[in-house]
Chain A
Amino acid sequence: AQSVTQLDSQVPVFEEAPVELRCNYSSSVSVYLFWYVQYPNQGLQLLLKYLSGSTLVKGINGFEAEFNKSQTSFHLRKPSVHISDTAEYFCAVRGDSSYKLIFGSGTRLLVRP
């Protein structure tokens, strides 16, 4: 069965510093990969997705992620964070033959002034 591991439950960082949120997945078939952001008491908003093609994916709010098939990773990065980026971030994988999204446990990004 497919699974997603988010290695860090919380990442504290100072404003304007770079950040990387780590995500590893397990799958034996081609996958679609997603990053979502969730603000308190809100639903999930799609940040970016990898379907095929270029391994570097750019999303909204200045975020980007790199798909690494050999390391089965899909880490999320931002070169300079803002206070408003404080939120929960979820990595998700969807199998090629399934509509189902499988989510990781989430990483809380805490941006400090």
Chain B
Amino acid sequence: EAEVAQSPRYKITEKSQAVAFWCDPISGHATLYWYRQILGQGPELLVQFQDESVVDDSQLPKDRFSAERLKGVDSTLKIQPAELGDSAMYLCASSEDRAYGYTFGSGTRLTVV
């Protein structure tokens, strides 16, 4: 079964440092999403791509977060500088058709110390 690949699985970083996460969606999935899940809460959308274009980044803290999907395939989410409040699970998902729901990756657990 096809999977969404994410790396790293775990990341510990000091505050004010830069950190990056990588996601490779299922082949052929044009839509890619980055969600943030704070412990004990549901996931919240950070950014949505359709191919290489950003469709929705209204909840992305643009002063420190950036996301790109240059060739419309894999994607990178960056935080610079990281803050203590950024500690969370960062989930990537992709979909072929909105009717089928998303397929999520295993996520990256970020701890900022």
Contact = CB atoms under 8 A, between A and B. Distances in A.
Interface residues of B, number: 29
Nearest to B100: A49
Contact of A99 (B6, B44, B91, B98): B98
A43 B41 contact: no
A45 B80 CA distance: 30
Interface SS majority for chain B = strand
Interface SS majority for chain A = strand
A42 B108 CA distance: 9
A100 B34 CA distance: 11
14 contacts: A4-B42, A41-B89, A41-B109, A43-B107, A44-B102, A44-B104, A46-B103, A49-B100, A90-B42, A99-B98, A100-B45, A101-B33, A103-B44, A104-B42
Interface of A: 4, 32, 34, 36, 41-46, 49, 51, 90, 92, 94, 99-101, 103-106
